[in-house]
Structure 1
Amino acid sequence: MPKKLAGCLHPRGTHAPKHWVVAETLFEGREPTVIVDGAYPRRFANLSRVTIAPNATIARQLGPLIKHCVTSRRFTTDQAKLACGTSMNVVATPIAGPFGHVRAVAIWAGAVGEELPPPPRVGVVEWDAAVVVCASAEARSLLMDGKPVEQTMLPEMLACFDRFDDRSEFLSLLRFSDPVDQWIGGATRTFIDGTMHRLHLAARASGTGVGRRGRVVVCDITDVEPPKTPDLYSRALRRAPIPPGHALALVDLSGFVIHDWVANDDDPIGMWAHHLPLLHPDDRQQIRATGFEMVVGTRTTASVRVRIRFDAGDEWIQLESHWTRIVTGDQPQVLADIAIVGAMPPSVIDACPRCRPLSEGAA
């Protein structure tokens, strides 16, 4: 009768792949789903299929482990045994959003005593109904080279990409009528050191009207997926000759969202890309009516005068804009040439540390 072999015969380090899995926990009340599994970007995949779980026992532990990590906001561990007798560590590390809530969890499994692989670079971005954007420290590192930016607007966040795949589908999260509630996309970005990186993004949105909120997990997957070439048309738009005091705005009419804002680097109007403008109450109906006419196709161009300011204590800034509809369909788009009329009055944004140099130069 053959002898029973004692102990595990697997080579050390072969019980589970040496990589992390990233699961999103973007909104409470939802089951966590997988968005990155080692070398494989995922589309909200089920936890039961992750490659780091060599058997069903470990796969079943992942959900409760992630839940505990989210509620405790701490590094969490558990143990399990394989059929060969090897004891496994299963670990979860929290990835916090800009307000401290855990919006994603990185998980790994390996034999007891094995070293953890280097952690993945993962950040979180959140936005409100006005698309005021806040980013975690790691997201600021991935998107803005670590600049101490507490909040910004959508145009500045998207302008950091050399290539942003699926922009139209991303904007579907923000439209007024029948918005989508989840989106997966990718982007290419050149870091401050000149290296190009591939980013995998997974977003969810929830709520309606002024209560709608969106969140996106940003994962650097450069090690497993090479960056795509920069987008030719985005680069051309950013280098277009623009008269002083003018800006080009790309507006998604399905949600009335400005998602690109291009101006000369030394022009004060360029700094508006990271500030929320307040529209004069008497001008709102004109904006809505013009936008509606462009959506239904009764006009393709328009000239609109409006007043904005950035704080209730500011004077109104007079603007003249010329709109051209450039895309029709479910995501109609307008390209607007916007110019300041007359002298620009003092504004609260003059005190913004990022804007002050330009404001002082224009004075």
Structure 2
Amino acid sequence: MTELPDPSGPRPADMPRHSPNCLHADGLHVPNHWVVVETLGRLSESAVILDDMYPRRFTKLNRATIAISTSIARELHRLVECCTASRRTESTDTRLPCAAMIRLIAEPIFGPYGQVRAVALWAGTVGTVPPTAPTVGVVEWDSTLTVAVSTGAAALLLVDQAPKPRMLPEMLSSLGWINDRSEFMALFRLTDPIDAWSGTAARRFDDGTRHQFHIVARASGTGANRTVRAIVCDTPEAQLPSKPDLYCSAIRHVPILRGHALALVDLNSIAVHDWVANDGDPIAGWCHHQPYVHPADKELLFTTCRDMLSGITLTAHIEARLRFDPADDWIRLDSRWTRVTSDDQPQALVDVTTIPPNPPSITDECERCHQLPRNAA
């Protein structure tokens, strides 16, 4: 015979919902640090990219160190959504099972065009002053590889910190080291591009200190509608690379003839991602402006890249015309191409010089063009 429960016993509603005495050591209810969540794509796909000073590669928010319970994780998700929608700091207080009151804070991180591209999250005991939030910036590229940077990203990545549009080679030239650059360039491939990437870069600041950055990127769209967005996190306590990026170091220290420049071209994306010339040479500043190739020469450039990509040819010598403003006359170029890598992201090293006479150009009067150092990193 089954015994029935004693009706005089305690009902579930009468049971204590939390321990009356907190067993946590003082201040150890939750880790006292920040977590950064990217919001580059759909909010349902948002992921942790920095947990304290530790880089993460698109980790679920539920696994963040400050998500100490299911209810806290649920509140963190809600705060990310609210912060992204309101574009302002959001906070809420919640009670742990031990009765401790926990405050959750979400701070928006804006992209160069004002959208919230990431959210910094903190959780701590009510009354605790949060530590300084991590330094985070946002970078966005369009299909022309024109770069737009937030103020935070400009401070981290660029010698000239003015948050104004610039070109990919100019931005990358300020970095002394970036891991797996070819995989990064796969975001811009014309055929079968990747849609997500994470990596590490380093740069020496003007005060002599070297900083390491954790970078994550997502891409969307195709063709002229292709957009790549990235979050850059300063991780000063991370271990810096012991060796420089040989990829960049070699090209930036090779002797270059006066009036010449060396361009590194990713053949899959037909994109120049490094441009090096002698200090003070007018051609050095070309990496700062978007080039417009003469319509009659575009097919020749595409064919050259396609043939070098497929291995039909390993060298090429071509002439082409470009300008940097629709009002300028065309500048004639002589270029010699050499395929320098043979992996799945082949590159071409291009020796470029102008063919006189050189018409006036907007680059002649651009102060930034004349200030760009050859070895910015």
Q: TM-score range by the shorter chain?
A: over 0.9
1:273 aligned residue: 287
The 1:357/1:219 distance shift into structure 2, 3 A limit, reads closer
1:308 aligned residue: 322
Deviation at 1:66, TM superposition (A): 0.4
Match runs of 1:65-144 below 5 Å: 65-144=79-158
Take 1:310 and 1:270, find their aligned partners in 2: how far apart are those partners?
14
Deviation at 1:351, TM superposition (A): 3.8
The 1:166/1:340 distance shift into structure 2, 3 A limit, reads same
- In structure 2, the residue corresponding to 1:189 is in which secondary structure? strand
1:159 aligns with 2:159: no
Take 1:207 and 1:30, find their aligned partners in 2: how far apart are those partners?
18
2:260 aligned residue: 246
2:375 aligned residue: none
Deviation at 1:103, TM superposition (A): 0.4
Is the contact between residue 32 and residue 63 of structure 1 (CA under 8 Å) also seen in structure 2?
no
Structure 2: where are the runs of 5+ without partners? 1-17, 373-377
Letter in 2 for 1:276: Q
2:241 aligned residue: 228
* Root mean square deviation, CA, Å: 1.6
Take 1:133 and 1:164, find their aligned partners in 2: how far apart are those partners?
17
- In structure 2, the residue corresponding to 1:172 is in which secondary structure? helix
2:277 aligned residue: 263
Larger Rg: 2
- In structure 1, the residue corresponding to 2:188 is in which secondary structure? coil
The 1:42/1:155 distance shift into structure 2, 3 A limit, reads same
Take 2:19 and 2:343, find their aligned partners in 1: how far apart are those partners?
68
Take 1:117 and 1:91, find their aligned partners in 2: how far apart are those partners?
12
Could you state the TM-score of these two structures normalised by the residue count of structure 2? Answer: 0.90
Is the contact between residue 67 and residue 73 of structure 2 (CA under 8 Å) also seen in structure 1?
yes
Take 1:356 and 1:193, find their aligned partners in 2: how far apart are those partners?
22
Is the contact between residue 75 and residue 93 of structure 1 (CA under 8 Å) also seen in structure 2?
yes
Is the contact between residue 197 and residue 226 of structure 1 (CA under 8 Å) also seen in structure 2?
no
Could you state the TM-score of these two structures normalised by the residue count of structure 1? Answer: 0.94
Take 1:294 and 1:270, find their aligned partners in 2: how far apart are those partners?
26
Is the contact between residue 293 and residue 321 of structure 2 (CA under 8 Å) also seen in structure 1?
yes
1:183 aligns with 2:194: no
1:361 aligned residue: none
2:311 aligned residue: 297
1:326 aligned residue: 340
Take 1:357 and 1:270, find their aligned partners in 2: how far apart are those partners?
9
Take 2:266 and 2:298, find their aligned partners in 1: how far apart are those partners?
17
Deviation at 1:355, TM superposition (A): 2.5
1:209 aligned residue: 223
Q: For residues 192-233 of structure 1, give each alpha carbon's deviation from its aligned partner in whole angstroms, at most 9, with x where no partner exists.
A: 11001110000000000000000000001112x121132245
Q: Percent identity?
A: 48
Take 1:181 and 1:314, find their aligned partners in 2: how far apart are those partners?
37
Take 1:200 and 1:58, find their aligned partners in 2: how far apart are those partners?
26
Take 1:145 and 1:299, find their aligned partners in 2: how far apart are those partners?
38
2:60 aligned residue: 46
Take 2:297 and 2:320, find their aligned partners in 1: how far apart are those partners?
6
1:347 aligns with 2:370: no
- In structure 1, the residue corresponding to 2:131 is in which secondary structure? coil
Deviation at 1:356, TM superposition (A): 5.8
Letter in 1 for 2:240: P
Letter in 2 for 1:202: V
Letter in 1 for 2:241: K
Deviation at 1:329, TM superposition (A): 3.7
